[in-house]
Structure 1
Amino acid sequence: MIRQFSAARLTRPNTLRPVVSIPPEVYGDAAAVLDSALIGDRDGVVHAFDEAVDKRGVRGAYDVAVCLAATLVGEGTPQSFAALEFPNIDDAGYDMRWVARFVSACANADDSTGEALFSAALVDGQLSECLLTLAGSTIATIKHRAG
């Protein structure tokens, strides 16, 4: 039943202004990431992102990350600039700061910033941890909304 839960959350119309054109198969990859994150399987999350990279290169992982950010932001996103509040973000670790900034970029349809953040995390050797944190944050948000 886990697949149905996460897939249902990801197949609803994207409420964010389009950041990138996301191929339909990305939603299946994002569901696989969330399925693993939901049960706390870090290796499964990494494997699901690796599968996306195997299919579409690094862009595949980026598209999955954008899909997760859209799920995290949810419905009701303003159609103008969104100012997201992240108290004490400067004191957080690299991965948490990255997630906050990446989600902000996606919420504001700022693809160039999203791509720059993604590339910087890759170059810094932090991308895997950032993507794990993004997946965990998305699951935590889904659970919070459901509960």
Structure 2
Amino acid sequence: MSHAMNLYTTRLGELAAHLDIGAIEQDETGHACLTQDKLWAIHLAPLGEESMVMFLRAGTLAGEVQARALLRGNLFSAEHAIIRVALGQDDHLILWSQQRLESTNAEQLHQALGQLVARAVALTGEMDAPSSTSIPPSLRV
């Protein structure tokens, strides 16, 4: 097992201890999944040698206005731990953040999980609001 995978596995173990849950199961690639509030499946995976990624699937894109707002806030950044938004092939929003393995701890990972869920809840609330415009089926963000 590589040093990066060992560090990733160590961070998952620390997170499990911090959350007071059993071991976080991983598949052969290191992918793991946690469920928060019995609703949000948060996926965890190693990303390269130095990072891990956390992502979850939020609701579907509400319309062109929401797409523009999300794209404007989704610029490139050298910062890790920023929540980014992507659009899945099924038009569901994917929220994700990247964490550096060397410099993160269980408390920071727990906080990042909470931030992902809070952002998903906020976006879900926005999607429930009536929208005057919608994206034609042929338009992809």
| TM-score category, normalised to shorter length | 0.3 to 0.5
> Normalising to structure 1: TM-score of the pair?
0.34
> Normalising to structure 2: TM-score of the pair?
0.35
Select the structure with the greater relative contact order (CA < 8 A; seq sep ≥ 6): 1
Rg larger in 1 or in 2? 2
Say which structure is richer in helix: 1
Say which structure is richer in strand: 2
